[in-house]
Amino acid sequence: MVFLTAQLWLRSRVTDRYWRVQEVLKHARHFRGRKNRCYRLAVRAVTRAFVKCTKARRLKKRNLRTLWINRITAASQEHGLKYPAFIANLVKAYSCNFCLGNDH
């Protein structure tokens, strides 16, 4: 392939900008108000949403662990055991390789 002019070597930045804007607006479609139409507002809203999403992933792990402990506590109390005693007996029964959760 032969390029006859220098203009053909240069990349058009307009299309890049268009697709970058469309990517941000795609993530902002479900937002309310002008945040889903105006690029300047959408960038701020999408950035904020991604930051919250990242923090929420850490919080989800903490909340699920609390939920598991509450459920195990309630179930063990139905049978007359306290949570620490129940876990100690489980550890004893399965040696020290026992782990609660999805770590397996």
Report the pLDDT value the prediction gives residue 5, as an integer from 0 to 100. Answer: 66
Instruction: Answer yes or no: is 74 within a domain.
Output: yes
Q: What is the pLDDT of residue 94?
A: 77
Q: What is the pLDDT along the chain (104 residues), one digit of tens a residue?
A: 555 666 666 666 677 889 999 999 999 999 999 999 999 999 999 999 999 999 999 999 999 999 999 999 999 999 999 999 999 888 888 765 555 555 54
How many structural domains compose the chain?
1
Q: Is residue 98 part of a domain?
A: no
Q: What is the 3-state secondary structure (H, E, C) of the chain?
A: CCCCCHHHHCCCHHHHHHHHHHHHHHHCCCCCHHHHCCHHHHHHHHHHHHHHHHHHHHHHHHHHHHHHHHHHHHHHHHCCCCHHHHHHHHHHHCCCCCCCCCCC
Q: Residue 17's domain spans which residues?
A: 13-93
35 in a structural domain: yes
Would you say residue 57 lies in a domain? yes
